[in-house]
């Protein structure tokens, strides 16, 4: 197709209206998709049962890892290059699409080898094929979405994400409630991925065409210059999904289902740290311009707050885990309770690791964190090789071993994080965290006392109320820090609630 773009050939500085609209669209879509993901987590696993959910987790984890491998990390590089020169969108998008289409046959070969080695049944094989097809379609959409991000048309990313989540959640819940199984659910995902790809192709018409010509030099440019982003993304993806894949080879598929529910709940609980980390990153970046000491000073209340919030959330989830699993998913997921307890204990180090990642990005030291991730990605499977068979033999629940492996690696990463951000936490931070621990213990006593007397909702209310009162009594947060937290919450609320922003 002929080269054509409606945008200027060089990127311009965005107006405040455009920037505000982009922030609002992305933040709003994140909240919507998180809420829909939570609804999916509540309804779908119970309807599918442990076996069906296990099949879904295996297919999702395999396609995620394979997708990261054949994606080659080109998306991030494309965003940077197109942001610098909008006129490069047609050639870069076309080249990325050609690369990904060319990798379809090798990827199918990998899928065939995986199916041969795993020796799955007919249903699991069909689910894996559908998941892989959905992944391919998503990769093709990703090339176009990188261009939208580069030319600062973030609304199209939000449109596609929200539409996909709404359809998959609403229709997915409806289908499983009506008795349809995991194959139908995965077919829905693949169909929605095809629709989103079609919409992205339609939306881009007013901004750029796609140059399908094979340019060897441009292919070489994308592949060679994307490898740092590819390594980082691959390490993170493998770290996130390797435990599910190892469980699928070392335990029955039902055990994978027992692991799938707590990990989904765990991921939803990371939303708190995700929002706070995102809100503080611009402040970190601005502080670093004034020097490392200023950055440490600005980061201190952020790190303290993330840790303060993580302790009661961790303890509360661990305490209500039995009733939470029973109410949401029924007795069939009873073995998921100890898994959720272990993952709840992983929340404090994970929260810390998330905020430290932002700290290191602001300080231009993200390579150090990537090295830590590489080490943990090697260590985690090694620990899984020991703990999964041990717990599978002792209790018939190897998922506990996978959860403990995650806890161990997150704690080790948190130790590395404390070293990498030396000087951020000081003696006053230790005293504040000690008071937080006392308030958390008091909250735990209150929640434990009402565990058999009242329902789940009152347990949660008791935990929130008791921790808030004890926190005020122990003066965990200063007046200035409370005001800062209210300010951050207010900014997020105003951005999410703002429906119209002047151009």
What mean pLDDT value characterizes the chain?
85
CA distance 277 to 342: 24
The percent helix, strand, coil of the chain (3-state, each to 5) is 85, 0, 15
pLDDT tens for 24-83 read 444 555 566 667 777 888 888 988 999 999 999 999 999 999 999 999 888 878 888 888
Mean pLDDT, range 372-377, rounded to an integer: 92
CA distance 305 to 297: 14
Structural contact between residues 138 and 126, judged by C-beta atoms closer than 8 angstroms = no
pLDDT tens for 178-213 read 999 999 999 999 999 999 999 999 999 989 999 999
Residue 16 has pLDDT above 50, yes or no: no
To which H or E segment does residue 210 belong? none
What is the pTM (predicted TM-score) of this model? Answer: 0.79
CA–CA distances in Å: residue 469 to residues 430, 444, 461: 21, 13, 12
Structural contact between residues 435 and 284, judged by C-beta atoms closer than 8 angstroms = no
Lowest mean pLDDT among 144-148, 176-180, 241-245, 489-493: 489-493
Please tell me whether residue 115 adopts helix, strand or coil conformation.
Answer: helix
- Of 273, 402, 411, which is closest to residue 340 (Cα–Cα)? 402
Q: Which residues contact 265 (CB under 8 A, 6 or more apart)?
A: 41, 317, 324, 340, 343
pLDDT band of residue 369 (cuts 50, 70, 90) is: confident
**Residue 85 has what DSSP assignment?**
-
- Of 170, 160, 150, which is closest to residue 197 (Cα–Cα)? 160
CA distance 372 to 363: 16
Structure-block tokens of residue 19:
């920037």
C-alpha torsion 178→179→182→186, nearest 10: -30
Structural contact between residues 110 and 63, judged by C-beta atoms closer than 8 angstroms = no
Lowest mean pLDDT among 106-110, 139-143, 198-202, 468-472: 468-472
Structural contact between residues 130 and 59, judged by C-beta atoms closer than 8 angstroms = yes
Residue 218 has pLDDT above 90, yes or no: yes
pLDDT band of residue 478 (cuts 50, 70, 90) is: confident
pLDDT in the model for residue 80: 81
Residue 23 has pLDDT above 50, yes or no: no
- Of 293, 295, 292, 266, which is closest to residue 280 (Cα–Cα)? 295
pLDDT in the model for residue 83: 82
Task: Report CA torsion sign: 141, 144, 145, 146.
Answer: positive
């Amino acid at each position: 197709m002929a080269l054509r773009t409606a945008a200027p050939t060089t990127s311009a500085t965005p107006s405040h209206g455009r920037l505000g609209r982009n922030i609002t669209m992305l933040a709003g879509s994140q909240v919507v998709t998180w809420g829909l993901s939570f609804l999916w987590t509540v309804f779908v696993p119970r309807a599918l049962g442990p076996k069906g959910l296990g099949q879904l987790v295996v297919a999702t984890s395999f396609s995620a890892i394979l997708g990261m491998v054949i994606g080659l990390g080109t998306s991030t590089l494309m965003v940077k290059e197109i942001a610098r020169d909008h006129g490069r969108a047609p050639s870069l998008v076309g080249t990325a699409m050609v690369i990904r289409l060319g990798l379809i046959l090798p990827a199918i070969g990998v899928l065939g080898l995986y199916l041969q080695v795993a020796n799955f049944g007919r249903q699991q094989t069909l689910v894996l094929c559908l998941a892989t097809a959905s992944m391919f379609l998503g990769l093709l959409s990703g090339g176009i979405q990188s261009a939208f991000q580069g030319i600062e048309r973030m609304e199209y990313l939000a449109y596609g994400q929200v539409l996909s989540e709404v359809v998959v959640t609403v229709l997915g819940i409806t289908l499983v409630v009506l008795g349809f199984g995991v194959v139908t659910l995965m077919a829905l995902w693949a169909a929605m991925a095809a629709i989103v790809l079609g919409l992205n192709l339609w939306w881009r018409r007013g901004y750029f065409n796609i140059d399908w010509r094979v340019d060897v030099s441009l292919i070489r440019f994308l592949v060679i210059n994307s490898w740092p982003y590819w390594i980082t993304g691959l390490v993170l993806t493998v770290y996130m999904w390797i435990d599910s894949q190892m469980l699928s080879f070392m335990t029955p598929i039902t055990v994978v289902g027992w692991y799938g529910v707590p990990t989904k709940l765990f991921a939803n609980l990371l939303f708190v740290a995700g929002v706070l980390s995102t809100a503080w990153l611009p402040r970190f970046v601005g502080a670093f311009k004034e020097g490392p000491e200023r950055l440490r000073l600005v980061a201190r209340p952020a790190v303290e707050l993330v840790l303060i919030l993580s302790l009661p959330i961790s303890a509360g989830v661990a305490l209500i885990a039995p009733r939470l699993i029973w109410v949401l998913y029924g007795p069939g997921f009873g073995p998921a309770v100890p898994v959720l307890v272990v993952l709840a204990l992983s929340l404090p180090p994970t929260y810390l690791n998330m905020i430290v990642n932002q700290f290191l990005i602001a300080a231009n030291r993200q390579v150090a964190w990537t090295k830590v991730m590489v080490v943990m990605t090697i260590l985690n499977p090694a620990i899984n090789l020991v703990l999964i068979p041990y717990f599978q033999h002792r209790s018939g629940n190897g998922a506990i071993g996978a959860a403990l492996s995650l806890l161990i690696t997150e704690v080790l990463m948190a130790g590395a994080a404390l070293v990498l951000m030396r000087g951020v936490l000081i003696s006053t931070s230790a005293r504040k965290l000690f008071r937080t621990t006392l308030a958390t213990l008091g909250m735990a006593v209150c929640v434990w006392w009402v565990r058999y007397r009242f329902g789940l909702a009152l347990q949660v209310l008791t935990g929130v109320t008791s921790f808030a009162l004890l926190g005020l009594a122990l003066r965990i947060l200063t007046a200035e820090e409370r005001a800062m937290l209210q300010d951050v919450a207010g900014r997020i609320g105003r951005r999410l609630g703002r429906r119209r922003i002047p151009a």
